[in-house]
Amino acid sequence: MIQLKNVSKIYPNGARALVDVNLNIGKGEFVFLVGPSGAGKSTLIKLLYRDETPTRGQVQINGKNLVRMREREVPYLRRSIGVIFQDFKLLPNKTVHENVAFALEVIGVSKREVRNRTRNMLELVGLAGKEKAFPNELSGGEQQRVCVARAIINNPALLVADEPTGNLDPETAWGIMDLLFNINKRGTTIVMATHARAIVNKMQKRVIAIENGRVARDEEMGGYGYDV
């Protein structure tokens, strides 16, 4: 599903974020990206939803070449990819319902369907009853649940998450991981960058370690590593 071939990314300031990365990720996999701060994890995630393009090499998702993709094709790509961030990025002046519904409204889904699907999705993530709340009236865990709902409401083939539990206490983090785990079981491919050692060790999924912009380790059912 995801193929990176000889991918390097050098930012305009000269920072070498990724160096000759080769990766294949299959449909339905759950992959943790681990590695020290500044190793290149976020950069790799950004390449997947074309927030950045590589300096060299190829990025393909479902056979689509993201490097040669035209600007006007990018919105279509983004519809098939859900994105979750550490800092939520919810619209502060919109309610929970509106934040999630927005993802459907922009692709022209009928009002009735938007209402039904949004309600079902908020129930799935355990937020029934919070539809009218604004983001600043929610806990961090609840806000991240809204983000999960927003990210998956289009049934994306791929979900990418950049430290989705970074701002959450351990128990709340596990709640989010349960959600992601269930979404993955329904067939969605998940790539998640994280520093959460306990989560990676417990889940026993594929672990790709990035160090100095290179793949330093790639293990099926791996652990976090970097144990001191």
Residue 159, classed as helix, strand or coil, is strand
Residues 14-53 that bind ligand ATP (CB under 6 A): 15, 17, 35, 37-43
CA distance 30 to 119: 27
Shortest CB 15 distance to ligand ATP, Å = 4
Nearer of residues 126 and 223 to ligand ATP, judged by Cβ: 223
d(CA 31, CA 177): 13
Tell me how many residues contact ligand ATP (CB under 6 A).
12
CA distance linking residue 211 with residue 31, whole number of Å: 16
* Residue number, 17 or 190, with CB nearest to ligand ATP: 17
Of the candidates 159, 210, 158, 221, the residue with the CA atom closest to the CA atom of residue 21: 210
Contact status: 189 vs ligand ATP (CB under 6 A)? no
- The structure tokens listed for 99 are 């934040």
Choose between 21 and 180: whose C-beta lies nearer to ligand ATP: 21
* Burial class of residue 157 (count of CB atoms within 10 Å of its CB; 0-12, 13-18, 19+): middle
As measured in angstroms, the least distance from the Cβ of 212 to ligand ATP is: 9
- If one asks whether residue 54 binds ligand ATP (CB under 6 A), the answer comes out as no
Identity of the residue, 13 or 136, whose beta carbon is nearer to ligand ATP in the bound complex: 13
Q: How far is the CB of 68 from ligand ATP (least distance, A)?
A: 22
Collect all residues with Cβ–Cβ distance below 8 Å to 23 and sequence separation of at least 6: 2, 3, 4, 7, 208, 215, 218
When the beta carbons of 40 and 164 are compared against ligand ATP, the nearer one is 40
Q: Which stretch binds ligand ATP (CB under 6 A): 8-16, 129-137, 153-161, 198-206?
A: 8-16
CB of 129 to ligand ATP, least distance (A): 34
What's the count of helices (H) and strands (E) in the chain, helices before strands?
A: 7, 10
Cβ proximity to ligand ATP: between 39 and 192 the closer is 39
Q: Give yes or no for residue 11 binding ligand ATP (CB under 6 A).
A: yes
Q: What is residue 206's three-state secondary structure?
A: strand
Contact 216, 46 (CB under 8 A): no
- Minimum CB–partner distance for residue 107 and ligand ATP (Å): 29
Q: Cα(27)–Cα(202) distance, rounded to whole angstroms? A: 22
Smallest separation, CB 225 to ligand ATP (Å): 14
DSSP 138: S
- At closest approach, how far in Å is the CB of 13 from ligand ATP? 5
- Give the binding site for ligand ATP (CB under 6 A): 11, 13, 15, 17, 35, 37-43
